[in-house]
Amino acid sequence: MDRSQLGWERSHDNGAIMPRPPHQRTTIIEVARQAGASKTSVSRYFSGERERLSPDLQGRVAEAARRLGYRPNRMASGLKGGRSRLIGMLVADIRNPFSVAVMHGVEQACRERGLSLMVCNTDNDPAQEREHLALLASYRVEGLVINAVGSPDRELQALVDQGTPLVLLERELGEVEAEVVGLDNARALDLALDHLQTRGYGELLYLSEPPEQASPRQARLMRFLQGIAARDLVGEVHCRPLGEREALHRAIGDFLAGPGTAPRALLCANGNATLAATRALQELGARLGETGLLGIDELDWCALVGPGITTLAQPTEAIGRAAVECLMRRREAGECTTPSRRVQFQASLISRGSTRR
């Protein structure tokens, strides 16, 4: 039996038999030697140039590699070739199911292309965003999918200068040259408003987290305001952190107790807002449907609460995949300055009892 299978082998410099510590992974050199070939050939075998080798050599390399359990060291290949095979992703809030769903799409697209994904969660903290961006840069990621809440322009620009393709999810940021993938927020809000109006709701309360930084929140809010004006609806807006439960309850309570006579509905700007609103409505004893409720983002449980909550579903997987596609396109394009583009997806309405009176 071959000694190497027992974890013993000849050392480099002399012919003596020495114990090989088990944590020594086999390298390309070892494979080359056992296959009676050169490093180059082994390298070629493993980097898509398999065809260029004679069938015989291919066989020997394959056999040796299999026997030794060889796997190229990504750290090393990332170093020389500049190919880290690594895509980075910055996620503002990993506990948000929407983010996870998009990430799932990103991940699949990466896998199909033989890329690995390194995900950094920032918990909505701009400081962590900067830190993680620098980190991803230090691993020389070949592309970056970004869902940030702050404006880490400096760090992003550094990445761009370094030649890293960037794709922004939803939130478009300052001046950085990058493509933006996300929902068609204007059409989504039109869809929501049309639905609510059709269902007879005349007074609306729009619930959102503060839109200051994040551009999709801005876009949605703007369109809401335009939309109610265009439709002769009455609208109010509450944009406070969802953590402020009291403020939220008071706002909703006041809204429901208002002087008007038209049926009232809540429009929630995202999944977290829908969750908070549902809680508040329950505590206020409101009946869903009588009080309308429509949320952007479809969640597992929306069908289960009361008569079901009407939502606007985003094509999350598709958004994730599209992000990676953009990245790849940019990478192919190379230095030729491709102008930034915008890829927009359409939301689809899932009508349930919460908007049926």
Partner DNA sequence: TTGTAAGCGTTATCAC
Partner DNA sequence: GTGATAACGCTTACAA
103 lines the binding site for its own copies (CB under 8 A): yes
Question: x/- binding map, residues 151-170, to its own copies, per CB under 8 A?
Answer: -------x--xxxx------
Measured CA distances, 137 to 153, 163, 231 (Å):
14, 11, 48
Task: Give, as ranges, the residues between 303 and 332 that touch its own copies (CB under 8 A).
Answer: 303-305
Interacting partner of 46 out of its own copies, DNA, none (Cβ under 5 to 8 A depending on kind): DNA
Give the residue ranges of DSSP H helices in the chain: 28-35, 39-46, 55-68, 74-81, 97-112, 126-138, 153-161, 185-198, 215-231, 245-256, 271-284, 316-333
Tokens representing 15?
A: 């012919």
36 lines the binding site for DNA (CB under 7 A): yes
Pick from 6, 76, 229, 230: which binds DNA (CB under 7 A)?
Answer: 76
Pick from 39, 52, 66, 95: which binds its own copies (CB under 8 A)?
Answer: 95
Interacting partner of 15 out of DNA, its own copies, none (Cβ under 5 to 8 A depending on kind): none
Half-sphere exposure of 252 (CA within 13 A, CB side): 29
The 10 Å Cβ neighbour count of residue 108 is 15
11 lines the binding site for DNA (CB under 7 A): no
Pick from 4, 72, 226, 344: which binds DNA (CB under 7 A)?
Answer: 72
Question: x/- binding map, residues 69-88, to its own copies, per CB under 8 A?
Answer: x-xxxxxx-xx----x----
| Beta carbon of residue 241, minimum distance to DNA (angstroms, whole number) | 40
By residue count, the chain amounts to 357
Q: Which residues contact 52 (CB under 8 A, 6 or more apart)?
A: 44
Task: Give, as ranges, the residues between 186 and 225 that touch its own copies (CB under 8 A).
Answer: none
Q: Specify burial of residue 1 (Cβ count, 10 A radius: 0-12, 13-18, 19+).
A: exposed
- Residues lying near DNA in the complex (CB under 7 A): 24-25, 27-29, 36-41, 43-44, 46-47, 52-54, 56-57, 70-73, 76-77, 79-81, 83
